Amino acid sequence: MSSSLICVGKILKPHGIKGALKIQSFTEPPMALEGYFPLCNEKETLTFSLRSFCPFNPTKEKEMFLVSLEEVENRTQAEELIGLLLFIQEEKLPALLDEDEFYFHNLIGLQALSKDGNSLGSVIDVQDFGAGALLAVGSKEKSEYIPFRKDYVVSLDLNEKKIVLNPPQFFETGKEVK
């Protein structure tokens, strides 16, 4: 997969006999997927232009949309696309507002170092449970969450793929406040 491609959706199944498709959106909000068309496949050999776009079931399945594509005329063609992931070029994503803002996918894979220069592993995931972004640092087997806040992130260099962290005290020592 090219590094400049970002996965924004997945074709789930055909709908009806005129080539309509049920698509799952991986954007936030899900409706933003409409603005990213035309989409392409992983190898950029296929391009899909939008003919019509509407929510599949707005109350129960907010991420699902019923889509008609210019390139898909009938159900047979639609069935060949089941399970296909849909991509866009990274440049099509909205511009970041300032230097303190980052896309999650830019942070994943960064090499994590402590202030002393010791390796903490790498950033394997970024999560937001409602209390701000958290970097999952370590390895796939064992990781710890470190808040993506100025107190804990000393420096970040996307070009060198390095992030210097100041992990919370108890992550290193196991001590807690009495």
Partner 1 sequence: MTRSIWKGPFVEGHLIKKAETVRASGRNDMIKTWSRRSTILPDFVGLNFAVYNGKKFIPVFVTENMIGHKFGEFAPSRTYFGHTAADKKARKGA
Q: Could you list the residues that contact partner 1 (CB under 8 A)?
A: 6-8, 10, 24, 26-28, 32, 88, 93-94, 96, 100-105, 107, 125-126, 128-134, 144-151, 153, 156, 168-170, 176-178
Name the minimum Å distance from CB 74 to partner 1.
28
Alpha-carbon distance of 135 to 144, in angstroms, equals 8
CB of 151 to partner 1, least distance (A): 6
Q: Which run of H or E residues covers position 55?
A: strand 50-57
Shortest distance in whole angstroms from residue 120 CB to partner 1: 15
Q: Which residues pair with 89 in a beta bridge?
A: 5
Distance (Å, whole) CA 37 – CA 59: 24
Rounded least distance, CB 7 to partner 1, Å: 6
CA–CA separation, 88 and 2 (whole Å): 11
Separation of alpha carbons 85 and 73, rounded Å: 19
Minimum Å gap between C-beta 16 and partner 1 is: 26
132-to-7, 18, 120, 145, 149 alpha-carbon distances in Å: 23, 44, 21, 11, 8
